[in-house]
Amino acid sequence: MIILKLKTQITDTVPREAESINPENIRGLTDSEISALPIWYGNRQQTVGHYFDIDTSEASKGDLSKIVIQGDVSLFKRLGQGMTEGEMEIQSSVGFHAGSFMKGGLLTIKGDAGDWLGSHMEGGRIVVEGSVGHYVGAAQRGRPIGMQGGTIMVKGNAGQMLGSRMGRGLIAVEGDCGDVVGFKMVAGTIVVRGKADRLPGANMARGTIIIMQRPKLLPTFYYSCEYRPIMWKLIYAELKQNGFDLDESYRDAVFARYTGDANTGGKGEILTCLST
């Protein structure tokens, strides 16, 4: 295990670009080499050692060690960006773009996460014990497809545009989410245990959105049937394994199925829970 402990609390409001901090970049490095990794502060290049005390006493030389980050890093952006393996645990809230472009590994965030969490993620797992901002798993500006694999689990609430332009993977939110969940969704699965605000599934082409509390749907979604989807039992098992608050009665829940958005072909679906 490699521990990075924030030396002093950040008092300004300028975000730090910290994409250099991920398991692959730190594998087998000495304390001084880790200390020299770059962190950008505006247009000035600083270093990991400028901000963090580094403890590698529990790390095995050459092995892919777990990284633990201590201290409030809510102004540090892109932590865990591009991870392909290994494990990171952030013991506080974190800034924008955490875990974006991930391809593997596990990123655990003990607090809240900023906007664009897991954007363009292709694999691996992100677990957030708090709430998250807007555009989770979404496509960044100018890109047609967002998240294309992996799993994002959120124990709190989520902001707007959850899974916007999502192409594959699973996003699950234990709390509520904001407007337009699954906007222009192409594929994949989104689960919201709480409430979803306005316009869920707007312009979705394919994919599945499961909202346990029935939302107000667009008129371009049409009622299909009531049933117990087989896939739900698999999703339920994964959610329970990750500590989601779901009663045993939800395992065999009955859902109403609505297909849409008719404006974009009508091949997506929104499932809402009718009974448990």
Q: Is residue 203 part of a domain?
A: yes
Dump pLDDT digits (tens) for 109-162: 999 999 999 999 999 999 999 999 999 999 998 899 999 999 999 999 999 999
Cβ neighbors of 46 (< 8 A, separation 6 or more) are 16, 38, 39, 40
Q: Is residue 95 part of a domain?
A: yes
Q: Is residue 254 part of a domain?
A: no
For residue 60, the model assigns a pLDDT of 64
φ, ψ for residue 192 (rounded to 5)?
Answer: -125, 115
Q: Above 80 in pLDDT, residue 275?
A: no
Q: Above 90 in pLDDT, residue 254?
A: yes
Per the CB < 8 A criterion, the answer to whether 72 and 6 are in contact is: yes
CATH number at residue 178: 2.160.20
Element (H, E) at 6: strand 2-6
For residue 243, the model assigns a pLDDT of 85
Using omega within 30 degrees of 0 as the cis cutoff, is the peptide bond preceding 261 cis? yes
For residue 63, the model assigns a pLDDT of 63
For residue 54, the model assigns a pLDDT of 95
For residue 246, the model assigns a pLDDT of 85
Q: Above 90 in pLDDT, residue 59?
A: no
Question: Into how many domains does the chain fold?
Answer: 1
Q: Where residue 44 falls among pLDDT bands split at 50, 70, 90?
A: very high
Dump pLDDT digits (tens) for 156-207: 999 999 999 999 999 999 999 999 999 999 999 999 999 999 999 999 999 9
Range of the domain at 153: 2-212+232-249
Q: Is residue 202 part of a domain?
A: yes
CA distances to 208, 221, 256, 262 from 271, in Å: 7, 11, 6, 16
Per the CB < 8 A criterion, the answer to whether 109 and 129 are in contact is: yes
Q: Is residue 275 part of a domain?
A: no
Mean local confidence (pLDDT), 41-57 = 94
Dump pLDDT digits (tens) for 255-265: 999 999 999 99
Q: Is residue 265 part of a domain?
A: no
Name the β-bridge partners of 2.
Answer: 67
Mean local confidence (pLDDT), 26-34 = 90
Element (H, E) at 31: helix 31-35
Q: Is residue 223 part of a domain?
A: no
Q: CA neighbours within 13 Å on the CB side: how many for 172?
A: 25
Residue 135's SS3 state is: coil
Element (H, E) at 26: helix 23-26
Q: Is residue 129 part of a domain?
A: yes
